[in-house]
Amino acid sequence: MRLAPAALGALRSLPMALDAVVGLGSNLGDSRAMLCEAARRLGAVGEIQAHSALYESEPVGPPQPNFRNAAVRVLAELAHDALLDALLDIERALGRVRRERWGPRLIDLDVLWLAGPAFVSDRLVVPHPELRNRAFALCPLLDVAPEATDPHDGVRYADVLAELGHQGVVELPGTRSSWC
């Protein structure tokens, strides 16, 4: 069957389901409650596939409290930009104010990785450009996507983490089964 150009255009504009790993971080206020609320709101963005354990990590940048980090794997019937907008909406709703780049934050949500090819636009770069340098992102990512590889070169993130080391990132006891 041949589709008319207009029908083809309509098909192409349909959002694909994104199998995304969203990284969550917080180091101000009640961080655990903040991550829990962000994870709950992600349930309205798509179907939650898995939660990582909760991790504690030392901050990158100026002196500030330690971070709590986690990751959630979500299947979302959204275009890439719409997924980013949904994360920014959650950050705003939870009171994040953008200040210094490496500064403390109530909540930070990043698209760490997507199953399938890499994605680059003016607003979004996936895999996250810093993913391979950050144990605080790799540890929770691997909980929810142990099979994940870098789409650029096929390298397994499990091997990246083994080489990088845990950089002082520790899993909080008792959080593997639930923290929310």
Nearer to ligand AMP, 72 or 175 (CB): 72
- Please identify, using beta-carbon distances, which residue of 128 and 134 lies nearer to ligand AMP: 128
47 phi/psi in degrees, rounded to 5: -90, 120
Task: Give residues with Cβ within 8 angstroms of 99, minimum separation 6.
Answer: none
CB 180 within 8 A of CB 33: no
Ramachandran bin of 61, using left for φ above 0, alpha for ψ from -120 to 50, beta for the remaining angles: left
State the nearest-atom distance from the C-beta of 88 to ligand AMP, in Å.
6
Q: Give me the residue whose beta carbon is nearest to ligand AMP.
A: 110
Minimum distance from residue 3 beta carbon to ligand AMP (Å) = 33
The single residue of 32, 40, 68, 108 carrying the catalytic annotation is 108
CB of 2 to ligand AMP, least distance (A): 38
- Active site (annotated) includes residue 68: no
Q: Partners of 120 in the beta sheet?
A: 125
Least distance to ligand AMP from the beta carbon of 71, Å? Answer: 12
Q: Of these residues, 68, 110, 134, 143, which one is catalytic?
A: 110
Active site residue 108: yes
Q: Catalytic: 123? A: no
Active site residue 110: yes
Q: For residue 48, give both structure tokens.
A: 């939650």
Alpha carbon distance, N-terminus to C-terminus of the chain: 49
Whether residue 51 contacts residue 72, with contact meaning beta carbons closer than 8 Å, is answered with yes
Looking only at the bridges linking them, the beta strands covering 55-57 and 67-77 are antiparallel
Binding region for ligand AMP (CB under 6 A): 84, 108, 110-111, 123-126, 128
Give 30 or 130: the residue with its C-beta nearer to ligand AMP: 130
Query: So which residues are the catalytic ones?
Result: 96, 105, 108, 110
